[in-house]
Amino acid sequence: MKIPRTTLFLFLLPSLALIFIFGVYPVAYNIFLSLKDVNLISYIRGTAKDVGSLNYRTVLNDSLFWRALYNTIVFTLLSIALQMVVGFLLALLFNYEFPLKGFLQALVMIPWVMPIMVSGSFFRWFLNDNGFLNNLLASLNWIREPVRWITSEKTVIYSLTAVNVWLGIPFNFILLYTGMQQIPEELYESADIDGAAGWQKVLYITLPMLRPVIVATFILGCILTFKVFDLVWIVTRGGPGGASHLLSTFSYSLAFDRFQFGKSAAVLVLMQIIVILFVGFSNRIRLEER
């Protein structure tokens, strides 16, 4: 039976409406806001003036924006690199049968099932100058002065990245592990017959066969990490002195601490541009692969 085009369109309509309401409209409205002088008063009164690119210029002149951009890049790249390496090693490990495997696998998944509110509050307490970690190191006589994990502008972003690595390992592990399960056992068996060493099997079979999964994990991970907000907001609120702001927390703080909605929208637009550039770039990589 041939279905008329109009009927087909009717079936599409609900999803098109959803995409428009939750996708196109907010993005368009955000761009509109970013070009206006929107603060609490002008927003309520409806008197926000057009200011052209002023919000963008102000934001680009703000040292906090550049700090947040730098932090976002460091945070994303370091997180992804470490999460993928550790996740891959764990996946390799769990690919073997050994006692207590199920139990240990459940342990690995803990960071993922714990609400960020809980783990974030825990790490705030754990990493303070007077926190658990410093007390532990001091009691072992490893340090005299507390290490300033989250109270120094130099170290704070790396501490937060470490926490995020811990949080993100399960995600990487589970994707890579499921990927590994799909690799036919025969490949390894024939490699055994050829007398390949363990590392050679990983290098010449596991990694190449896993490539599509690795690329997908990488891109998904980058996008998920790029927009991380809750972890940083709960542990440091972007502090001390703005030193750990990511673009997401910086934009939130502009909107809801300072009611600078126009500038906040400008930061969000810049974030979107970065994501679009990144996705375009990664698509090109994938196309070249084929």
Partner 1 sequence: MSKKLLIGLLVLVWSLAVSFGAFAATTLTFQSYSNPTEQVAQFIQKVLIPELQKAHPDVEVNYVYIPFAEYMSTILQQAISNTLPDLVYLDNPWVPQLIEAGVFQKITDNVMQDLGEDFWMDFFPGHRLLTSKDNDIYALQVHTNNLAIFYRENLLKEAGIGEPPKTWAELQDACQKIKESLNLYGLMLYAGADEAGTWQFEPFLWSNGGSLMELDQPEAIEALGFVTGLVEKGYTPRDVIGLKDQGDVTIWFMNGQAAMMINGNWEFGWHLLPDVLEKLGDVKVTPFPVPEAGMKSAVLPFGGECVGITTSDSEKAKYAWELIRIWFGEKLDEYYEKWTGHIPTLASYAAKIANKRPEFEVFIKQAAYAVPRPPMGGMDKYPDVSNELALALQRSLTGAQTPEAAFKEAAQNIKSIFTPEEYEASKARAREILEEVLARAKGQ
129 or 189: whose CB is closer to partner 1? Answer: 129
Query: What is the DSSP annotation of 125-181?
Result: HHHSTTSHHHHHHHHTTS-SSPP-TTTSTTTHHHHHHHHHHHHHHHHHHHHHHHHHH
CB of 227 to partner 1, least distance (A): 20
152 or 282: whose CB is closer to partner 1? Answer: 152
189 or 257: whose CB is closer to partner 1? Answer: 257
79 or 260: whose CB is closer to partner 1? Answer: 260
Indicate the angle between helix axes 63-94 and 101-113, nearest 10 degrees: 160
Q: Are 105 and 190 in contact (CB under 8 A)?
A: no
Q: Are 39 and 259 in contact (CB under 8 A)?
A: yes
CB of 74 to partner 1, least distance (A): 17
Report the chain's C-alpha Rg in angstroms: 24
Name the phi and psi angles at 59, rounded to 5.
-65, -40
CB of 64 to partner 1, least distance (A): 8
Query: What is the DSSP annotation of 60-93?
Result: HT-HHHHHHHHHHHHHHHHHHHHHHHHHHHHHHH
CA dist 200 and 193 (Å) reads: 13
CB of 120 to partner 1, least distance (A): 11
Binding-site ranges for partner 1 (CB under 8 A): 40-41, 43-45, 64, 124, 128-131, 148, 150-153, 235-243, 253, 256-260
* Residue environment code for 26-60, b if the CB has 16+ CB neighbours within 10 A, otherwise e: eeeebeebbbbbbbeebbeeeebeebeebbbeebe
166 or 259: whose CB is closer to partner 1? Answer: 259
44 or 287: whose CB is closer to partner 1? Answer: 44
CB of 110 to partner 1, least distance (A): 24
Indicate the angle between helix axes 101-113 and 156-181, nearest 10 degrees: 130
CA dist 9 and 58 (Å) reads: 45
CB of 63 to partner 1, least distance (A): 8
